[in-house]
C-alpha cells in the first residue's frame, strides 16, 4: 500500500518549484517549461492543476487560474502570466485581479535533448 501511494505521489513531486532561489529543472522528466523573454531574462513555469509556479528574476511565485476572455491567464503574488496562442506575456498584477503594465514578452525556449 505504501509503495502504491508513493508511485501515485511521484508525478506530483515533479511538478513542484522550490523557493530556494534556483530555477526548476526544465529537462526531461518534468513538466517545467522554460521561456526566454525579449529582455533576455528566463522565465520557468510549472503548470499545475489549479495554477502555476513561476520562477522569475531569482524568485518563485505561485499564481492561480484567473478569468480571461481568451487564452490562459494566471494571477497572484504581484504578477500575471498570460498565454494566448504562441504569445506569452508577463505583467504586473494591479489590485486583486487586474492586469497592469507589461513586464516581459516571452517565447518558449527549445527543449534540451
Q: 1-34, pLDDT tens digit by residue?
A: 444 444 444 343 433 333 334 454 433 334 689 9
| Residue 22: per-residue pLDDT | 46
| Residue 45: per-residue pLDDT | 96
Segment 43-60 mean pLDDT: 94
**Domain coverage including residue 86:** 50-113
Q: Render 81-98 in DSSP notation, one character per residue.
A: EEEETTEEEEEEEETTTE
Tally of domains within the chain = 1
pTM of structure = 0.71
What is the CATH classification number for the domain harbouring 90? 2.40.128.200
Rounded distance between C-alpha atoms, residue 52 and residue 28, angstroms: 19
Tell me, yes or no, whether 85 lies in a domain: yes
Cβ–Cβ contacts within 10 Å for residue 109, how many? 14
Rounded distance between C-alpha atoms, residue 84 and residue 68, angstroms: 10
Amino acid at each position: 500500500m505504501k509503495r502504491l501511494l508513493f508511485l501515485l505521489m511521484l508525478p506530483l513531486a515533479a511538478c513542484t518549484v522550490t523557493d530556494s532561489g534556483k530555477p526548476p529543472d526544465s529537462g526531461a522528466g518534468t513538466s517545467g517549461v522554460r521561456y526566454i523573454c525579449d529582455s533576455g531574462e528566463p522565465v520557468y513555469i510549472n503548470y499545475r492543476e489549479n495554477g502555476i509556479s513561476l520562477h522569475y528574476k531569482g524568485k518563485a511565485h505561485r499564481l492561480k487560474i484567473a478569468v480571461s476572455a481568451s487564452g490562459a491567464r494566471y494571477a497572484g503574488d504581484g504578477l500575471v502570466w498570460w498565454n494566448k496562442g504562441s504569445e506569452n506575456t508577463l505583467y504586473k498584477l494591479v489590485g486583486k485581479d487586474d492586469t497592469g503594465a507589461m513586464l516581459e514578452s516571452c517565447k518558449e525556449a527549445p527543449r534540451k535533448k
